[in-house]
Structure 1
C-alpha cells in the first residue's frame, strides 16, 4: 500500500501499527522521502480488508489520506510482527 496526504508527522505510522497489531497483521510501515507512506502487510483476508479500510480512513484523527494505492505481491514474506521503520 502507498498513501499520500497528511500522513507524516501526525502519528500515522504508530496508529497504523496499533491497528495492525489488533488485527494480527504482519509487515511494516515506513515514511518515504516524497511525503508518502509505504505499507507492506500480510494476514488473513478478512483482517486485511479491515486493515485496508482503516488505512484509507486514516488511523489517526490528525491525518488525512488523499490517495491510496494497493498492489498485491505474489509471495509471502516471513514477517513475525508489524514494525514501524524509520
Structure 2
C-alpha cells in the first residue's frame, strides 16, 4: 500500500534559465500519478511542490539530487507533509 504525501523541495544552484523547470516537470510526469507544480523563486532557487505516493517522490528527489539535470544542483532541501489536494496534473509556474 502506498502512502500519499506532499513533498515540498527547494533546489539551489544554477537552476534558473537552463530548462530546469521543464526537465523537472517531464521527470515528475514519468513517475505517473503526479500532481503539483515547479516554480522559480526570486532568490534563484526552484521550488517543487508535489503530491502522490511516497515511492514516486523518493525517486523524484533522487533524480533532483543525482540525475543529469540541466544547470547545476548544489543542494536540495525537502519537507514532507499531508496532501492538501487541489492540483490537477503537474504544471510549470
**TM > 0.5 between the two?**
yes
CA RMSD of aligned residues (A): 1.4
Q: Which 5+ residue runs of structure 2 have no aligned equivalent? A: 1-8
- 1:63 CA displacement: 1.6
Could you list the per-position Cα deviations for residues 39-67 of structure 1 after superposition, in whole angstroms to 9, with x for gaps in the alignment? 1011111111111111112553x321112
8 Å contact from structure 2 (residues 51, 83) kept in 1: no
Greater per-residue strand proportion? 2
Query: Following superposition, which runs of at least 4 residues in structure 1 exceed 6 angstroms of deviation?
Result: none
CA distance in 1 between partners of 2:84 and 2:51 (Å): 7
Question: TM-score if structure 2 supplies the norm length?
Answer: 0.81
- Cα gap change, 1:8/1:37 in structure 2, threshold over 3 Å: closer, same or farther? same
Alignment size in residue pairs? 84
| Alpha-carbon distance change, 11 to 3 in structure 1, aligned in 2, over 3 angstroms | same
Which residue of the partner structure matches residue 58 of structure 2? 49
6-15 vs 68-77, greater mean Cα deviation: 68-77
SS at match of 1:49: helix
Equivalence for 2:88: 80
